[in-house]
Amino acid sequence: MIYRYRTSVADALTEDVLAAPVLPDLSGYREEIQTDDLQFRPDVHVDLLKRLFVHAADLGLDPFETDAWLAPRLHFALRIPRRLASDPGFWSWVAVEYGRPYVQRRWGDKQNVQWRYAGPLTRSAISRLWWAAELTRNGPDYSVAPHSVRRAGTAQYAFELKYSWYRPAVIAFVIVAEGLDDGPQLSFEETKRLSTRINALTVLKPVEAVGFDALSGEDAWDFDWYQHRPSFDEVIKDELPRGPNDGRASAEAIDDLAAWFRALARLEAGAEDPIPTPRLQPA
């Protein structure tokens, strides 16, 4: 069975409660999630999650490197549909019941740490990593996912604005912010200014018009991948795992958007040469 915690559980997750070695009984805040009407009936492998979070906490990496290591592997281990992954209460259940070793190691000394257990999708310690991998994977390729959460500015501004749900735009934003296009890596402030400018421009010119994704919606669900139960060794191996063969983004869309974002970043940095006009796709 799969559960969720109601939002009121945040009131019970005080700093003293979260610092205790054993949590009190929180079953009064918990309710079962019905999965019959989802695309497929997911099977959350809780023992695998427990081992994964303990392993991540014990790696001895700095906080952002831990995030970078964990994001694609969490997505690989937790094979759920987006509809379930859009429920913050589900992530509260995962974080409280199974993710505490990682959350305590990653966020335990921060103020308002209960947000990392019971906050919105972009703030919850566990959901932010799963969604980072989901939105930046290109089909089975997770290679951009670690870069998306390796620095605070990229993680914040790649996923919290209106273009963030368009896969080619998120991938392109991470590529530019992290300098994966052979351009300079952007600072936190440069990343923030770029995101602000993109957000303003997309009011008049949606990112889909700049980088039209011809692959969008064409690939069928990879049911075999979602129904496979990976082993612990598969999840933690050194090389990146392989995701499902759905959710692909075209190279053309990513390249067009990355070129536009890089040009906008140069403009924000005071470039004097002309900024190229994005190649708009036909209606």
Asked whether residue 58 is domain-assigned, the answer is yes
* Distance in angstroms (rounded) separating the CA atoms of residues 268 and 271: 7
13 within a domain of the structure (yes/no):
yes
Handedness of CA 259, 263, 269, 272 (dihedral sign): positive
Does residue 80 belong to any structural domain of this protein? yes
Instruction: Check residue 271 and give its pLDDT.
Output: 62
3-state secondary structure of 138: strand
Judge whether 195 lies within some domain: yes
Query: In this structure, which amino acid lies at residue 20?
Result: A
According to DSSP, residue 164 is labeled G
44 inside domain: yes
pLDDT tens digits for range 175-193: 999 999 999 999 999 999 9
273, part of any domain: no
Question: What pLDDT, in 10s, does the model give residues 4-14?
Answer: 999 999 999 98
H-type alpha helices, 20-126: 46-57, 63-77, 82-85, 88-97, 100-107, 115-118
Helices (H), 137-245: 145-148, 152-159, 167-177, 188-201, 207-210, 223-227, 232-236
Q: What are phi and psi of 3, to 5 degrees?
A: -125, 170
Amino acid identity of 211?
Answer: G
pLDDT number for residue 57:
94
Total domains in the chain come to: 1
Q: Which pTM does this prediction carry?
A: 0.91
Q: Which domain holds residue 68?
A: 3-268
Residue 282 has pLDDT above 90, yes or no: no
Q: Is residue 65 part of a domain?
A: yes
The verdict on residue 224 lying in a domain is yes
pLDDT band of residue 37 (cuts 50, 70, 90) is confident
